[in-house]
Structure 1
């Protein structure tokens, strides 16, 4: 992978809460996240590489475009990841063409400035949260547009949507909106594999071992859904109705290009 200097590869991540790392650590101990894990993998093969993460939780695609693209271009990345759109999917008013338009504008600008760009497709949220079944058609529509936009600009796509393992509950936190540490590891491995990085392979697509405790079925599953709705969906909808976001008042956790500290290799969390 080319860089401005053989010892100073520049990687910049743009996006929302998944790229910021929610679900992998917390705001007390710090967030790691899939982009951090990918940077660690890159650093193992590119000593001295520099990494910035501009992602902020709660951002819609147009926010990422308006707030993060210019700072990203100013950092002159050799590699950039652009992952956004899930927050848009969850809004009452959703326009797949509009969302994809913001993503494509970022793809076009970054590739025009010489960066290699990677993105992901999204899993069917109905297979993670049955109550979200009405959103399935939105996911399909957005993924289709992401693929077409990526093809037009030579953007690498990690096709996470194709593999059943991505909807295994163990890859998601209890809020079912953010990846767990294991989920972030799998996303990082998927992007590394799509980019063809040394040390990457398709093992991220493999299913997990059977769970020690069987998943709830029947009435128990229904009860679990209702509890989830009360604990997470209700408060989320309340914030939306009040015009608030989890990202209000927040800025990027890593706005400047900095060296990457170990651990380096992408590995399954203990």
Structure 2
């Protein structure tokens, strides 16, 4: 693109990835997240251009949501908000569950993208990072992840759809890109995803989001073992218990920004 694109509004929907889990906590108790970071940059670009309007931003994403829940609980609201820029990420929570019906995931994701793209000036979708080098046991879900990535790529062939492809980026193999739970991005991970989105939209690069971090100090086997045991106790077992009892971390949780309000306030 020859000129920096200006957006006057942004609506983000999805699960914990878009909610911003494990980024820094804001004074209101919500996580910041990559979507907030993108909105901050877009608001600044609009102000610098003297466009004469205020940037508005809504984030309907809620942690733990499956793609059907995203479509049912956030889809109508997102369409009604009529944002110029809409971001949609979902399906990985489905893929991580045994017995995932990927055909259902594709149908639901495709129909939702169709609805959102029909109204938005620009729809942003995502291909997830490659977990195969980072997560033990990820071989079970790799066929579904690769299939979903291909499907999202096909959706990205439409004129007003942009796919942010995080898959072939070795920097995301670094544990420092991830929070203690090893499922959600750290603040540095969210910073990188935000920059990836902004560059995909055609904004000037602020830094190279693909560049590896400097080498980390070595960690002893004993320290790694203690970290693994803590991870199992604090994060894995509660996740398993929720699956067994049919509960979700997002049950009863409202969206952090349900209205398309001025941003920053």
| CA distance in structure 2 between the partners assigned to 1:181 and 1:208 by the alignment | 13
Give, in angstroms, the shift of residue 145 of structure 1: 1.3
Is 2:82 the counterpart of 1:83? Answer: no
Give, in angstroms, the shift of residue 86 of structure 1: 1.7
Number of the residue aligned with 1:266: none
TM-score normalised by the chain length of structure 1: 0.86
Task: Give the 5 Å matches for 1:188-267.
Answer: 188-197=194-203, 199-200=204-205, 203-211=208-216, 213-215=217-219, 224-261=227-264
Give, in angstroms, the shift of residue 81 of structure 1: 0.3
Give, in angstroms, the shift of residue 101 of structure 1: 1.9
Give, in angstroms, the shift of residue 125 of structure 1: 2.2
Shift >6 Å, 4+ stretches: none
C-alpha RMSD of matched pairs (Å): 2.4
Is 2:34 the counterpart of 1:34? Answer: yes
Give, in angstroms, the shift of residue 215 of structure 1: 4.9
Number of the residue aligned with 2:193: 187
Q: Which moved more, 1:167-176 or 1:223-232?
A: 223-232
| CA distance in structure 2 between the partners assigned to 1:8 and 1:154 by the alignment | 14
Q: Which runs of 5+ in 1 are unaligned?
A: 263-270
SS in structure 2 at match of 1:257: strand
Number of the residue aligned with 2:51: none
SS in structure 2 at match of 1:40: helix
Give, in angstroms, the shift of residue 26 of structure 1: 3.8
Distance change >3 Å, CA 202–CA 142, structure 1 → 2? farther
Is 2:136 the counterpart of 1:130? Answer: yes
SS in structure 2 at match of 1:256: strand
Alignment coverage as a number of residue pairs = 255
SS in structure 1 at match of 2:146: helix
Alpha-carbon displacement from aligned partner over 1:74-106 (angstroms, at most 9, x marks no partner):
111110000111211211121222212222112
* Aligned partners of 2:6 and 2:42 also within 8 Å: no
Q: Which runs of 5+ in 2 are unaligned?
A: 48-53
